[in-house]
Chain A
Amino acid sequence: MDWETVIGLEIHAQLATRSKIFSGASTRYGAEPNTQACAVDLGLPGVLPVLNEEVVRMAVKFGLATHSTVAPRSVFARKNYFYPDLPKGYQISQYELPIVHDGYLDIELDEDTVKRIGITRAHLEEDAGKSLHEDFHGMTGIDLNRAGTPLLEIVSEPDMRSAKEAIAYMKKIHSLVRYLGICDGNMQEGSFRCDANVSVRPKGQEAFGTRTELKNINSFRFVEQAINYEVERQIAVLESGGTVVQETRLFDADRHETRPMRTKEEANDYRYFPDPDLLPVEIDQAFIAEVTLSLPELPDVKKQRFMDDFGLSAYDAGVLTATRELGDYFETVVESSGGQGKLSANWVMGELSGALNKAGLEIDASPVSAGALGGMLRRIEDGTISGKIAKQVFEALWAGEGTADEIIESQGLKQITDSSAIEGIIREVLENSPTQVEQYRNGQEKVFGYFVGQVMKATQGKANPKQVNELLKKMIND
Chain B
Amino acid sequence: MALEAQEVERIAHLARLGIDPDDIPDYARNLSDILAFVELLNSVDTCGVEPLAHPLEAVQRLRPDVVTEADERENFQSNAPLTEAGLYLVPKVIE
Which A residues lie at the B interface, using CB under 8 A?
17-19, 23-26, 32-39, 42, 44, 50-56, 75, 80, 82-84, 96-97, 131-133, 136, 138-144, 261-262, 269, 271, 274, 276, 278-282
| A83 / chain B contacts, CB cutoff of 8 Å | 93
Task: Decide: B84 and A52 in contact? CB cutoff 8 A.
Answer: no
A-B contacts, 9 of them at CB < 8 A, read: A17-B65, A25-B67, A32-B73, A35-B73, A50-B61, A51-B60, A51-B61, A53-B64, A279-B61
Size class of the contact patch on chain B: 35 or more
Whole-angstrom distance from the CB of A247 to the nearest CB of chain B? 13
Whole-angstrom distance from the CB of B46 to the nearest CB of chain A? 15
Q: Does B44 interact with chain A (Cβ within 8 Å)?
A: no
Partner of A25 from the list B69, B85, B95 (CB cut-off 8 Å) is B69
Whole-angstrom distance from the CB of B68 to the nearest CB of chain A? 3
**Closest residue of A by beta carbon distance from B54:** A279
Using an 8 Å CB-CB cutoff, how does the interface string of B58-89 with A read, 1 for contact, 0 for none?
Answer: 11111111111101110011000010111111
Task: Decide: B65 and A282 in contact? CB cutoff 8 A.
Answer: no
Q: Which of B56, B69, B82, B91 is the most central at the interface, judged by chain A CB atoms within 10 Å of its CB?
A: B69
User: Bound complex: CA of A27 vs CA of B64, how far in Å?
Assistant: 14
Which B residues lie at the A interface, using CB under 8 A?
14, 16, 51, 53-54, 56, 58-69, 71-73, 76-77, 82, 84-95
Task: Decide: A35 and B85 in contact? CB cutoff 8 A.
Answer: no
Task: Decide: B95 and A262 in contact? CB cutoff 8 A.
Answer: yes
Task: Decide: A141 and B53 in contact? CB cutoff 8 A.
Answer: no
Task: Decide: B90 and A139 in contact? CB cutoff 8 A.
Answer: yes
Q: Quick one: given A19-B67, A82-B16, are A139 and B60 in contact (CB under 8 Å)? A: no
Q: Quick one: given A139-B90, A282-B60, are A36 and B71 in contact (CB under 8 Å)? A: yes
User: Bound complex: CA of A33 vs CA of B16, how far in Å?
Assistant: 28
Q: Quick one: given A84-B90, A140-B93, A269-B14, are A24 and B63 in contact (CB under 8 Å)? A: yes
User: Bound complex: CA of A144 vs CA of B94, how far in Å?
Assistant: 18
Task: Decide: B89 and A281 in contact? CB cutoff 8 A.
Answer: no
10 nearest interchain CB pairs?
A24-B68, A141-B87, A54-B65, A53-B62, A33-B86, A38-B69, A279-B60, A142-B88, A35-B71, A25-B69
User: Bound complex: CA of A84 vs CA of B87, how far in Å?
Assistant: 12
User: Bound complex: CA of A262 vs CA of B66, how far in Å?
Assistant: 40
Q: Quick one: given A132-B87, A141-B85, are A280 and B59 in contact (CB under 8 Å)? A: yes
